[in-house]
RNA sequence: CGCCCGUUCGUCUAGUUGGCCUAGGACGCAAGGUUUUCAUCCUUGAAAUCAGGGGUUCGAAUCCCCUACGGGUGACCA
């Protein structure tokens, strides 16, 4: 049975790169009939952010990524918050010390910082590794008695992994193939902090093992520490899971991975939902609030680094799950494209259930103080305008005139299309409209065309003139569809009022 | 700077067992059409000498090596 996990740290809002990682884990688990676990990695108390965990859970839920186990869900392998598993980790660190794979280190953070700065000033780099550990303050250099004394005296200590001096660490990444790192390039990472908490590295390995995780699918930024994790599994005597390191999501412009700042700078959301920073009250926009459908958002995100291998692009969660495979994930980072994101939403909007669109549009109209419009009418309007909308919110700029007579007429359009004889010509057409018994688009079209021919009117100016009177601008769907939807009475009022208004100018 | 990972149209990518690739699709862009608008729709087009250079081979985007460039990482953070 395949078991995978998504393990975010609640240090702020989850950004879309994280959502994508969760998504691929979800696809992988569902495809294999396995389980998806949510684990909160909150071993750093200093970076705790109020509301972040709740935000993460809600965002994932909105995105349609559902977990089989996790905090607030439960499961046999809980608790699923590392802060609640605190007591578990120490024994494994102790076991590593006993087996000679780890050691106590008494150097303070300040001492190490000073050392690092001094070495760097001289042009060297400092690493707590096989070269330096014998000169530092730890249980490898101190006598057993001294170590015991220090610990008994309550002196702060950390536990570091004893990395072998000369060994090639090799592992296979599902996406990248064989990855090799020489141990001489690795440092003796702290696995247990002086505050009594494990570091990510230890907690991660212990939990993945205890929770019987079979595949670790995470971002590429973890690739450099994977050899360390391999070592940890080996020293603890456990089988390592398989690894897959996902390519990063890059900034739309320039260089580097997508970051929090990019969204506001370039005008698109970097987060699934809106987030208010509890410290600064700074607001970061979200896909949800920007009008994206979760289905479109997820579809767009999935295609940043993966594709089904055929030419499908619009795919449901189920279709993508069915088609998903880790060996179809690309190796290189994907640059986020805001235009394509909009396109995805546009495609979903076209197929969205009409009754949902109607109620969403109704909400928007309410804000414009337009109420008590029947659903039938709203539906007709949506059908006429939705193909040119990317978001439900676009219905307002594209369709408000169906509910509200124009209060002014676009100057540029009037100048371009309104002629002195427009008053007479459109007046004639309006008279013919009065006689019309069956108010249908094609019939109205015939009436207009007959009149144009009969009186040798300039066609383009007539069409556009009528459009301006009805809409207030020279845009919108087919003219005769507008007339039909508006209905005879309203159309005639707009024509007459409009002729009076513009004609006087 | 060290180590690791990567490099096909502006962007996302197809191409994964070398020949069907004079490199395909999508977004975006441009032009034309829908003898009326338009932010829709349709058609067409421009757009990658497959980072560069060496090999291997009858044949390489696909295999190997080098270089360049890009990215990640280098905390008692995850």
Interval A48-81: pLDDT, tens: 999 999 999 999 999 999 999 999 999 999 899 9
Query: What is the pLDDT, as a whole number, of residue A251?
Result: 85
Which one, of A368, A434, A433, A428, lies nearest residue A402 by Cα? A368
Mean pLDDT throughout A124-153?
92
Helix (H, G, I), strand (E, B) or coil at A325: coil
Query: What is the pLDDT, as a whole number, of residue A304?
Result: 96
Query: What is the pLDDT, as a whole number, of residue A196?
Result: 94
Query: What is the pLDDT, as a whole number, of residue A125?
Result: 83
Per the model's pLDDT, the better-predicted residue between A410 and A269 turns out to be A269
Nucleic chain B contacts, protein chain A, residues 171-190, CB cut-off 7 A = 176-182, 185, 187, 190
Is A194 within 8 Å of A159 (Cβ atoms)? Answer: no
pLDDT surpassing 90 at residue A17: yes
Query: What is the pLDDT, as a whole number, of residue A121?
Result: 82
Q: Which residues of A are catalytic?
A: 260
Please give the nucleotide, over all strands, whose C1' is closest to the CA of residue A226: B4
Which one, of A90, A91, A70, A89, lies nearest residue A79 by Cα? A70
Q: What is the mean pLDDT of chain A?
A: 92
pLDDT surpassing 90 at residue A460: no
d(CA A390, CA A394): 7
pLDDT surpassing 80 at residue A182: yes
Please give the nucleotide, over all strands, whose C1' is closest to the CA of residue A221: B72
Q: Is A387 exposed, middle or buried (0-12, 13-18, 19+ CB in 10 A)?
A: exposed
Query: What is the pLDDT, as a whole number, of residue A419?
Result: 80
ipTM over 0.90: yes
pLDDT classification of A28: cutoffs 50, 70, 90: very high
Which one, of A211, A209, A216, A215, lies nearest residue A239 by Cα? A209
- Residue A318: CB atoms within 10 Å: 9
Question: In the block, which residue shows the tokens 């076209």?
Answer: A350
pLDDT classification of A206: cutoffs 50, 70, 90: very high
Nucleic chain B contacts, protein chain A, residues 215-234, CB cut-off 7 A = 220-225
Query: What is the pLDDT, as a whole number, of residue A76?
Result: 95
Which chain B positions come under 7 Å from a protein C-beta?
A: 1-8, 10-16, 24-28, 36-41, 70-78
pLDDT classification of A98: cutoffs 50, 70, 90: very high
Query: What is the pLDDT, as a whole number, of residue A411?
Result: 80
Mean pLDDT throughout A187-195?
96
Mean pLDDT throughout A146-155?
94
d(CA A43, CA A81): 9
- Å: A176 CA to B52 C1': 23
pLDDT classification of A117: cutoffs 50, 70, 90: confident
pLDDT classification of A425: cutoffs 50, 70, 90: confident
User: H or E stretch including A298?
Assistant: helix A294-302
Query: What is the pLDDT, as a whole number, of residue A414?
Result: 79
Pick the range with the lowest mean pLDDT from A17-21, A127-131, A254-258.
A254-258
pLDDT digits (tens, 9 = 90+) for A241-290: 999 999 999 888 767 788 888 877 777 899 999 999 999 999 999 999 99
Q: Which domains does chain A have, with CATH numbers?
A: 3-70+201-250 (3.40.50.620), 87-192 (3.90.800.10), 260-351 (1.10.1160.10), 352-398 (1.10.8), 405-505 (1.10.10.350)
Helix (H, G, I), strand (E, B) or coil at A138: strand
Which residues, other chains included, contact A254 with Cβ-Cβ below 8 Å and sequence gap of 6+?
none
- Å: A463 CA to B43 C1': 26
Question: What's the distance, Cα to Cα, between the start and end of chain A in Å?
Answer: 78
Per the model's pLDDT, the better-predicted residue between A501 and A292 turns out to be A292
Query: What is the pLDDT, as a whole number, of residue A426?
Result: 86
Query: What is the pLDDT, as a whole number, of residue A167?
Result: 93
Mean pLDDT throughout A130-158?
93
């Amino acid at each position: 049975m395949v078991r995978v996990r998504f393990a975010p740290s609640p240090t702020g809002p989850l950004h879309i790169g994280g959502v994508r990682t969760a998504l691929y884990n979800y696809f992988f688990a569902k495809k294999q009939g396995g389980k998806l676990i949510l684990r909160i990695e909150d071993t750093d108390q200093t970076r705790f952010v109020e509301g972040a965990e709740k935000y993460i859970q809600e965002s994932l839920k909105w995105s349609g990524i559902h977990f089989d186990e996790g905090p607030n869900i439960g499961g046999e392998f809980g608790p699923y918050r590392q802060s609640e598993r605190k007591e578990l980790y120490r024994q494994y660190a102790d076991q590593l010390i006993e087996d000679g794979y780890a050691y106590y280190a008494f150097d303070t953070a300040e001492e190490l910082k000073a050392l690092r700065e001094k070495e760097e000033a001289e042009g060297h780099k400092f690493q707590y590794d096989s070269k330096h550990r014998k000169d530092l303050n730890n249980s490898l250099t101190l006598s057993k008695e001294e170590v015991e004394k220090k610990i008994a005296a309550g002196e702060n200590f950390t536990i570091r992994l004893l990395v072998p001096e000369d060994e090639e660490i090799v592992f296979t990444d599902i996406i990248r193939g064989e990855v090799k790192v020489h141990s001489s390039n690795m440092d003796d990472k702290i696995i247990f902090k002086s505050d009594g908490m494990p570091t990510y590295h230890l907690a991660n390995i212990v939990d993945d093992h205890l929770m019987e995780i079979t595949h670790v699918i995470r971002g590429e930024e973890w690739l450099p520490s994977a050899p360390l994790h391999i070592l940890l599994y080996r020293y603890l005597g456990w089988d390592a899971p398989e690894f897959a390191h996902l390519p990063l999501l890059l900034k739309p412009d320039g260089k580097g991975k997508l970051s929090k700042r990019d969204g506001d700078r370039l005008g698109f959301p970097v987060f699934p939902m809106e987030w208010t920073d509890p410290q600064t009250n700074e607001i970061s926009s979200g896909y949800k609030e920007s009008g994206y459908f979760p289905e479109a958002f997820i579809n767009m995100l999935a295609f940043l680094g993966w594709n089904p291998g055929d030419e499908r692009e619009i795919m449901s969660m189920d279709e993508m799950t069915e088609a998903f495979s880790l060996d179809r994930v690309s190796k290189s980072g994907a640059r986020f494209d805001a235009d394509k994101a909009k396109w995805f939403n546009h495609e979903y909007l076209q197929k969205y259930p009409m009754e949902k669109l109607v109620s969403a549009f109704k909400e928007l109209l309410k804000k414009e103080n337009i109420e008590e419009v029947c659903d039938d009418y709203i539906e007709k309007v949506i059908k006429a305008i939705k193909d040119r909308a990317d978001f439900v919110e676009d219905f307002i700029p594209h369709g408000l005139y169906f509910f509200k007579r124009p209060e002014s007429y676009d100057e540029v359009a009037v100048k371009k299309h309104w002629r002195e004889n427009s008053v007479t010509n459109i007046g004639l057409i309006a008279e013919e409209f009065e006689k019309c018994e069956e108010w249908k688009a094609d019939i109205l079209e015939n009436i207009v065309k007959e009149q144009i021919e009969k009186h040798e009117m300039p066609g383009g100016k007539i069409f556009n003139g009528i459009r301006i009177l009805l809409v207030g601008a020279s845009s919108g769907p087919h003219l005769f569809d507008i007339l039909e939807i508006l209905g005879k009475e309203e159309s005639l009022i707009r024509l007459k009022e409009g002729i009076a208004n513009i004609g006087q100018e």
